[in-house]
Structure 1
Amino acid sequence: MNRFIIAAFVAASCLVYRASAQEVNTNPVELPSATVWEFVKYNNAAANLYTGTVCIEIPVYTYEDSDFTIPVSLGYSSNGFKPNIQAPAAGHEWSLNAGGTVTRIVRGLPDEERNLSTFGFMETHNDSTLTGVGQLDGFTTGWDNDGIEAVSPTLFYAPYGWDNTSMLFDMEPDIFYFNFLGYSGKFQLGYDGAVHFYDTNTKDSEFALEIPRYDLNEITIVTGDGFRYTFGTGLAREFSGKTGTSWKLSEITAPNGRKVTFEYTRSARQYDSAATLTYQFFNNYAPSTMNYSFRGNYLIGPEKMAEIDIDAKPTRPKLSSPIFVSALDRIVFDNGSAIDFYYKTLPYNESGEGTILTILPKLDRIVVSNSDGEAVRTCALSYSFPPAEESNKIPFLSEIELSGEGVFSMEYDYDETTIFPKHGTFKIDHWGYYNNSSATYESFYAKTVQDDYLHESIGTSVRNPNGEYSRIGMLKSITYPTGGRTDFEYEPHDYSAYVTCEYPVFIPYLQNTVGRKAAPAGGMRIKSIKDYSSSDTTSPAYSREYSYLDSEGYSSGNLAPMPRYGLSYTRSTPPNENISVFLGSYNDLLPSDGTHIGYSRVVETLPEGSNEYRFISYRDCPDGKVTNMEYTNINNYLYDVTCNRNLSGTDARNAIMALMSPTISMESKRGKLLSKRSFDKNGDMVASQTTSYESYTYAYESLDKIWNLQSLYIGATRVATVIGDIRPVSVSTRISGVTETENYSYDSFRNLKTVVKDGKTSRFLYVQDLDDIEAFDDMVSASYWNSFRSTATARTMKRLNMVNLPLQEEIYDKNGILSIRRYNYGYRNASDTSLVVVKSIESYDQTSERWETVSHFDYDSLGNLVEATDPDGVSTVYIWGHGGLHLVAAVGNATIEQVEDA
């Protein structure tokens, strides 16, 4: 195995190569560019056997000094071929991983929308006087597409206290996704200045957000160590029309003021790929003043659709507004070093099925230069194309040549006869994977069928998955500069249970397939990985085979909800209008809460034995519905309905509420490792690891998404109890008959508070805990920290968001304290109060029963430690070179004055 590829398992649950493509089931207004999508798809979540997705990462270069670590790599991730996604800058399914990005799903109006009568959610976020809920009214946003008027499905509200009730306020905060340099997660704006970070890969509470008051031209995220990451400056923002679709990392600022700058160029105008989502509610009966017509919310662009009808079909897929794409041009470091990115136009162009398709330049070279302008690392990329004359000329990354290393060569699943369809094809399954069906625009839009008990099925086969075609174009092998090779084999996803929301409970639950027979799902999963040495390219030197069955022999796959298409029902009371509900699946171009399928049990077979992995699945962590939601006037419009089976009373109300109320998705909480058991060739268990989890919940008051049918009122706010995270509380490891257990607890900020192992407890205190110091009253130094939190240093640390730094670590057993380690912070010196540093470290050891202090820490202007004195009064001097960026020497038993005089 070449050193550039992640080893066979990264942690217990990770596949050979890291990351997984994500599926989506939501309603974006604008889509990100292909390059941004590929970056987010690759980086948004670690790949693991739970999703069966393989991911490859080839490091190009890592810049590192005393403050910054900036990696640049090329990554591959794929679940199968999706023909309506254009190849990004590094070729089909490859991403350039450099810097980071923030992107979003627009819900209703963009948050920053602001004019005389309509306001995005930022207005409510900024103005604390906008409280309470008034009348909800449907609102036509004024979008226009070839004369077709567009209707937003969102409801808007006029809060109490406003005399002008014609002023309409978006009640849906957009969902923002971020991924940069090892950090990932989501955030939303809240009421009265609140910001909610969630689903992060560290601690939700360590992040702080800074944005302009009434626009989103720039977004700054501050991490718990005080580093500031700014997105969207200048050309680092991609947008469609006036709506920002993504913000790319443009600057990093360290606490000492040092900066790294990311420069961009405007590379092209990319048009959205033809998508296949319809996700709106419509009322076919409406007064003449309510001119509801269907534009598709930027996702479907029918050229003409005169009436809303469940059987209406668009005449052609149509692209929406263009996205102005930014390409990373250069990374500049303050010591004069730089990383440059060069692009080129390829000899062949991708084409669209009756659509406009902008050709995106592809990455040609990466050049790393030192402060003297000399190249110290180069990376050259080459591309290949499907040879069949009728095929769409999709660019595949065929070679990566790294200076000083050699060439990586890739082969993909296609040959001289393989025909890749053009963008905008209807020949895709429910999840956007290619199925080469006979679908046309007349047959593409499926229809959800219900039986007398409202059990749902899809009444067409043209959207069924087909693994023979969804596998084309996937990576088959990679050959390393050493001559070794890795081959990949895939198989279609399948499942024996699926999520549904049907009669009689109308809340999400897991339903087994008939006889628990395995049913196919869209996309592919890894079946085997085989490594070959340079000396023997025919017999694998090592192999891994994967099985996705539960302990009873059934598929362990759980499928997310099947899409609903064209669900309709008719009110049983006058005026007996027909109510049409459009929901659906589409080409997932945005990140989401998770994949469309997950596996609760996977067995990995190795030459020396096997490993069994079990993961948190839907059965362990199901989705839920919001609580405390009350509608008034619902009876006037929705109460009595007929839908094959006549419903009334509670059944009717629950059915409508199930359609109108979104679920609380717990997908991001699933996929965590529950257990790993290792067996030898004879089937005897030789090791095991089991993890127990707990979840913390919080109540979040929101008005979220409610759909409008003419007129509807809400009588109370929605209070949703949300699982904020699932955290390990116990890990038991058994090796050679010996079991060791570690138990964990957390504070109110999700910081690790205690670790208990072998009868000893380690307890931790952080700067963030100064807000909740009472929780640590039993600690030896509680009174000390109560005093410290009121000092100017503590206030500065909180202001700079340096909240994730340690204050104290202590270890104790049943007999009392064994040791304490305390960090004392202060300003670098009296004249520089902008830079907070560790001034001393105090240690207590129970054996000697005394405190010892490493103190007299001196720092240079960049915050580098230049001298420290140990408890015996002996000093060590640290010498920094290259402009203070790298430690070059440490001189013991000397002072800074002695070193300077030497």
Structure 2
Amino acid sequence: MLRLPQHIKGWAMLFMLLIPYHLLLAQSSTTFDLTSPAAIYEPSKKATEMVRVADIPVSYYTGKPNISFPLYEIKCGSLSHKISLNYSGSGGIPVESQGSWAGTGFDIAVGGAIVRTPVGRPDEMTTMGYNDAAGSTGLPLWSTANPTFWLNTLSTCDKKNMGDDRLDMIPDMYYVHFDGQSAKMFFDRTGAVFFTPYKPWKLTGSMTTGFAITIENGTKYEFLDIETSTYDVETLPGDDGSNFTCKTAWFLSRIVSPNRKDTLKFNYTAASFDNFDDLPSETKYTAVPDQPVGCLNQQPPSDNATKTYNHQTSNSFTLTSIVYRSGKVEFNSINDRADINTGDKARLKEISFYSAAGQSYTLIKKIKLNQFYANAAATDVLKKRLFLSNFVELGGTDSLQTSFSYINPDGLPGKNSYSQDHWGYYNGAFNSSLIPVLTDGFIDYAGANRELDSAAMQCGLLSSIIHPTGGVTTFEYEPNAYSFLKGATIYRAQHYDSSAVNATATATTMSGSLPSIYRDTVMVNLPKVPGVLSVTYFLTGIIPTDPQATVEIYDGSFNLVWAAGNSNGTTRTQNISLNKGATYYLVAERVGLNEKCFITLNYRNWNYFTAPALYSKLAGGNRLKRVTTFDGFNHANDEVVRFKYQLNDSISSGYLLDEAKYAGYSYVPYYCTGTPAAKGGDWMMYNRYGNSLVALGRTQGSPIGYSRVVAQYGENAENGTEEFTYTLPGFMDTGGSGYPYIPRTSYDELRGLQIAKRVYDSNGRLLKSSINEWNYNHIAGSPNLRWVWGAKCGVQRVSNTFDGGCPTGPDWSFNIGMYKTFQFWPTLKSTTDSLFDVSTGAGLGIKISYSYDSVNAQITQKDVIGSDNIIESTTYSYPANFTGTAIYDTMVARNMLSEVIEQRITKGGIQIYKEKNNFSFYNGMIAPLSKELIRADQPLENRISFSAYDSRGNLTEQGKSNDLREVYLWGYNGEYPVAKIIGASYSTVSSLVIPANLDAPADDQAIRTEITKVRNALAGKSAQVITLTYSPYGKITSETNAAGLTTFYTFDGLGRQTSVRDHNGMIIKLFDHKIAAGINQ
């Protein structure tokens, strides 16, 4: 019998993934910019909202409690589609985030999209794009032997074109999300598609016409509404700018069931908007001090700064409705956001759910979203932010309100603020740039404070949920912390350390008690400490403009290296360049009592001290510290869960994937005489950037992953604890940490897999455990381990020597890096569940092991072994195992790979059960034909046959072997079975009713009246008739048994059951739903 699930109450804690790549703003090359990584361009912010959910369920691993409120589940035949309101902002609110159309931190999980992040240039761009560039140069494929030999095949023209971005060797990345499914998608140069983690999906279509993905059960998802974006990139001062247009997102347009009879249609309205408010990328260039002048007396380049602006125009879409045969959902939005300047101003006001009766629709319920603006009185649009105040479910006269409060939302800065830490979260600093304070080892450069601030970082986070019952859930957060950086430990025991402090050395003749002719010499051993050196000096005499005094600096061999001019009786200071680690002598000398002078060398020295132990450091983003649940009546009943992210009392279990890097070196050539002019050399430039040259890695959307997390129930774990451990060590991203800053090779699909869960009582005694083993499939030869090669070339030094138009000679310097984008396929190898005796510690366990078909990604065998050490094995066969049979070949062609055809169970090697599900064609559909089974080691026996289906694919007649036939009549637009008749044929029964009266009944009684025709016609015959009616929520409202007696089930406007009554209307059971009537009652 087809039923809809009962309405889900309350809320569930889920976890979701932001886009796993740190999206850097575009940077174009300038005169000095030979160091920057490949430009990565964001799709529209509307599109990125569609791809936040991860395929691997995120858990305590990231410390982020993403909260989900189920709103509705669409049911249409074999299709279902869940709509929910999700909160994913607990890690922190990025300063430049615009928030979704629901409100900051919230998303409406509905529909889906394929979203592309162009890297460098769009792959399809002629000549320059990855497809042509990788093809013309023969970039290796995953199967290429000795792939690095490719580097030897490149000409210097190829290398220069790569360095000048005229050959883009970096493939674009695609992110796919729909119906709870998620994956990264990418293509090699031949157009072959890869999904990671591996999926046995079939991709058809193209980026021009739209894509279709058929998943392993044969359901087809069509992405035909295509977003295009135009990027105008301009660097000032520097270049004339560039622009390109490409397709950046494909929105879900239709879902089609495996039998091709059921569809969900997603309708959109076109939405075009600009994005001009993002902060520019900044770069500052400074010549390294003490470089020689050129051979023609040229001077090194002066300081220079550039800003790169990326103006994006998107032609996108806004979801307006979902239509299906038994109803529709409408999304009512308005373009009135007061916190958006030129971007997408859509604000979601309400969602309406309708049931269909024939061609007419009846409103079932509404979800109203009520929002407010932080900093609502601000005159600056970008200072405001949209937040969700509450949402209200309305059904008939019933309503439920869920409300939210936040941590100091008015404390957030404008979306164009420079007050950002390394990860883009608010840090409360008064910055005028994103280029941080830096040092090149000799000179300290002033800049922005990019360090995190634990209080500022929490601004705007969800602090509490007030539930319709009056209960309150409160969240407390703390900053992320880590003791491991890229797999290496950072913690240190108590140790002897040092810090740089200001120091001086002075030679002077200023004292009057000194002889009239006097020379003061002071030796200085200049330590190797970063910092600027300077000298302060003073000279005067009877004639101040011509004092008989000198101040000088000599090296260790007493060679003069610096001497002061006349200071005219004033104290002066100037920077000086000396070799650190060398010995120098300061000399102050006078002739005459009235002649005076001094010289002071200002430098940095080490101050040694005993440093405390370093166990962990803080990182950007927040993690959950504590959750408190108040029942709305008595705080004595509060339920508290506290979280610890430690390996032990001192060491954090957190891993930071990358540290930001904001500086690098480049080279500017200078030339001498001749034709062509001979190269004289290169000046080294120290470049500082506002964006990290190394993309800060993310693991399931967080900068930090935790290998061990403990949940303590109760303030002092008086209700026990749960311990979780996850895969993380050994799966750090690789490459890309140095010039030419190729993209990092990510292993994120292998991180965060649960290894173990252990449950302890309040005394720390182990109660039960669940241990998982995984097939990581990450070494050469592993099933479904594939990759796409990418490459980037940096031109570190250039010259004016060419041969046949290609660079030649030793004055050119190229640096090429290759990297892989992996397709991984981690699979669960085994699970061992154990229970323990708290008094003895002895345990009993059961282990389940799995084997897989690597092509179709299905379980082929499950082995269970318990305390008796007897193995119970279940083997599974699928359509692909029955090739050569038309029906199963067609199922494979339609990608219906996961349908179990045959199942066999053995125990101790002896068969104890076997079944086979046979399929056949029905009017172009594929549907079950019969089921065979046996509960012994004997041949199969036919147990049930499925005789007929209607045009919608609904089963209409079936029968067990040697038994009466069962017939089903379907109503409500063919969505639900309204009658089951035993002992008659479908042809007989269907001729007794008018289908339109079942498809579009006026009310429940109309269904019962129509089925009464069948009941009366079959009276006196050996037939039984059972009648069912349904609410708009798909819940059974009445059931009339074979004797004609009806039981009634009533529901309120929100689909909550209120009573059960017998055929006389007498109450059997009442349900009373309490909602908040005052928290203090």
- Which interval holds the TM-score relative to the shorter structure? 0.7 to 0.9
Post-superposition Cα deviations, 1:117-138, rounded to whole Å, max 9, x if no partner, equal: 4455289799999999664677
Post-superposition Cα deviations, 1:482-501, rounded to whole Å, max 9, x if no partner, equal: 111111111111111112xx
Post-superposition Cα deviations, 1:92-133, rounded to whole Å, max 9, x if no partner, equal: 11112111111122123213324xx44552897999999996
CA pair 793-44 structure 1, distance change in 2 beyond 3 A: closer
CA pair 892-152 structure 1, distance change in 2 beyond 3 A: farther
Post-superposition Cα deviations, 1:708-761, rounded to whole Å, max 9, x if no partner, equal: 326799999979695713222121112243222211222223321221113344
Q: Cα offset for 1:55? A: 1.2
The total of aligned residue pairs comes to 767
Post-superposition Cα deviations, 1:803-845, rounded to whole Å, max 9, x if no partner, equal: 22222211113333222222222211xxx3x422222222233
CA distance in 1, matches of 2:962, 2:282: 73
The question of whether the paired residues in 2 share the 8 Å contact of 1:479 and 1:485 is answered with: yes
| Paired residue secondary structure (1:206) | coil
The question of whether the paired residues in 2 share the 8 Å contact of 1:20 and 1:51 is answered with: no
Q: Show the 5 A alignment for 1:675-694.
A: 675-694=756-775
> 2:762 corresponds to which letter in structure 1?
K
Bigger Rg over Cα: 2
Post-superposition Cα deviations, 1:585-605, rounded to whole Å, max 9, x if no partner, equal: 499999986421011111111
Post-superposition Cα deviations, 1:837-870, rounded to whole Å, max 9, x if no partner, equal: 2222222331666533423432222222222232
Q: 1:815 aligns with which of 884, 906, 909?
A: 909
CA pair 754-357 structure 1, distance change in 2 beyond 3 A: same
Q: Which of 838-847 and 680-689 deviates more? A: 838-847
Q: 2:211 aligns with which of 216, 219, 228?
A: 219
Q: Cα offset for 1:458? A: 11
CA pair 410-752 structure 1, distance change in 2 beyond 3 A: same
Counterpart in 1 of 2:252? 249
Counterpart in 2 of 1:776? none
Q: Cα offset for 1:533? A: 1.4
The question of whether the paired residues in 2 share the 8 Å contact of 1:446 and 1:566 is answered with: no
Q: 1:521 aligns with which of 614, 619, 626?
A: 619
> 2:202 corresponds to which letter in structure 1?
A
Counterpart in 1 of 2:370? 382
CA distance in 2, matches of 1:460, 1:820: 72
1:334 and 2:434 are equivalent in the alignment: no
Q: Cα offset for 1:320? A: 1.8
CA distance in 1, matches of 2:693, 2:956: 58
CA pair 673-223 structure 1, distance change in 2 beyond 3 A: same
Q: Show the 5 A alignment for 1:464-479.
A: 464-479=451-466
> 1:369 corresponds to which letter in structure 2?
Y
CA distance in 2, matches of 1:282, 1:720: 34
| Paired residue secondary structure (2:951) | coil
Q: Cα offset for 1:262? A: 0.9
> 2:488 corresponds to which letter in structure 1?
L
The question of whether the paired residues in 2 share the 8 Å contact of 1:431 and 1:586 is answered with: no
User: Which structure is higher in strand share?
Assistant: 2
Post-superposition Cα deviations, 1:340-377, rounded to whole Å, max 9, x if no partner, equal: 1112355x7226xxxx5436121111111222222111
CA pair 421-843 structure 1, distance change in 2 beyond 3 A: same
Q: Cα offset for 1:666? A: 0.9
Counterpart in 2 of 1:91? 103
The question of whether the paired residues in 2 share the 8 Å contact of 1:879 and 1:889 is answered with: yes
Counterpart in 2 of 1:413? 407
The question of whether the paired residues in 2 share the 8 Å contact of 1:209 and 1:220 is answered with: yes
| Paired residue secondary structure (2:329) | strand
| Paired residue secondary structure (1:437) | coil
1:321 and 2:303 are equivalent in the alignment: no
> 2:71 corresponds to which letter in structure 1?
V
CA distance in 2, matches of 1:447, 1:217: 49
The question of whether the paired residues in 2 share the 8 Å contact of 1:23 and 1:588 is answered with: no
CA distance in 1, matches of 2:61, 2:50: 21
Q: 1:19 aligns with which of 16, 21, 27?
A: 16
Q: 2:724 aligns with which of 589, 599, 614?
A: 614
Q: Cα offset for 1:384? A: 1.6
CA pair 752-277 structure 1, distance change in 2 beyond 3 A: farther
CA distance in 2, matches of 1:438, 1:753: 60
| Structure 1 residues not aligned, in runs of 5+ | 8-15, 142-150, 157-167, 285-306, 452-456, 500-508, 627-654, 771-784
Q: Which of 843-852 and 690-699 deviates more? A: 843-852
CA distance in 2, matches of 1:366, 1:283: 59
1:52 and 2:52 are equivalent in the alignment: no
> 1:89 corresponds to which letter in structure 2?
W
CA pair 279-596 structure 1, distance change in 2 beyond 3 A: farther
CA pair 723-224 structure 1, distance change in 2 beyond 3 A: closer
1:567 and 2:567 are equivalent in the alignment: no
The question of whether the paired residues in 2 share the 8 Å contact of 1:625 and 1:662 is answered with: yes
CA distance in 1, matches of 2:219, 2:300: 51
CA distance in 1, matches of 2:40, 2:284: 12
TM-score (norm 1): 0.76
Counterpart in 1 of 2:1048? none
Counterpart in 1 of 2:338? 349
Counterpart in 1 of 2:895? 801
Q: 2:478 aligns with which of 483, 487, 491?
A: 491
1:265 and 2:269 are equivalent in the alignment: yes
Q: Cα offset for 1:18? A: 3.1
1:361 and 2:346 are equivalent in the alignment: yes
CA distance in 1, matches of 2:653, 2:456: 24
1:753 and 2:881 are equivalent in the alignment: no
CA distance in 2, matches of 1:82, 1:521: 14
| Paired residue secondary structure (1:192) | coil
CA pair 718-3 structure 1, distance change in 2 beyond 3 A: same
| Structure 2 residues not aligned, in runs of 5+ | 1-6, 25-38, 145-149, 232-243, 289-298, 494-613, 670-678, 799-806, 837-842, 992-1017, 1019-1081
CA distance in 2, matches of 1:448, 1:332: 60
The question of whether the paired residues in 1 share the 8 Å contact of 2:657 and 2:697 is answered with: no
| Paired residue secondary structure (2:790) | coil
CA distance in 1, matches of 2:100, 2:754: 32
CA pair 794-578 structure 1, distance change in 2 beyond 3 A: farther
Q: Which of 82-91 and 714-723 deviates more? A: 714-723
Q: 1:550 aligns with which of 635, 642, 647?
A: 647
| Paired residue secondary structure (1:211) | strand
| Paired residue secondary structure (1:36) | helix
The question of whether the paired residues in 2 share the 8 Å contact of 1:761 and 1:811 is answered with: yes
CA pair 139-815 structure 1, distance change in 2 beyond 3 A: closer
| Paired residue secondary structure (1:899) | helix
CA pair 425-827 structure 1, distance change in 2 beyond 3 A: same
Counterpart in 1 of 2:850? 744
1:179 and 2:177 are equivalent in the alignment: yes
CA pair 588-123 structure 1, distance change in 2 beyond 3 A: closer
> 2:21 corresponds to which letter in structure 1?
V
The question of whether the paired residues in 1 share the 8 Å contact of 2:720 and 2:763 is answered with: no
TM-score (norm 2): 0.64
The question of whether the paired residues in 1 share the 8 Å contact of 2:86 and 2:107 is answered with: yes
Q: 1:892 aligns with which of 982, 1005, 1019?
A: 982
Counterpart in 2 of 1:11? none
CA pair 753-590 structure 1, distance change in 2 beyond 3 A: same
CA pair 539-270 structure 1, distance change in 2 beyond 3 A: farther
Q: Which of 356-365 and 272-281 deviates more? A: 272-281
| Paired residue secondary structure (2:170) | coil
Q: CA RMSD in A?
A: 4.1
CA distance in 1, matches of 2:350, 2:321: 12
Counterpart in 1 of 2:1070? none
CA pair 394-136 structure 1, distance change in 2 beyond 3 A: farther
Post-superposition Cα deviations, 1:737-793, rounded to whole Å, max 9, x if no partner, equal: 3222211222223321221113344444454644xxxxxxxxxxxxxx3xxx12332
Q: Cα offset for 1:87? A: 2.2
CA pair 539-32 structure 1, distance change in 2 beyond 3 A: farther
Q: 2:202 aligns with which of 203, 208, 228?
A: 208
CA pair 280-461 structure 1, distance change in 2 beyond 3 A: closer
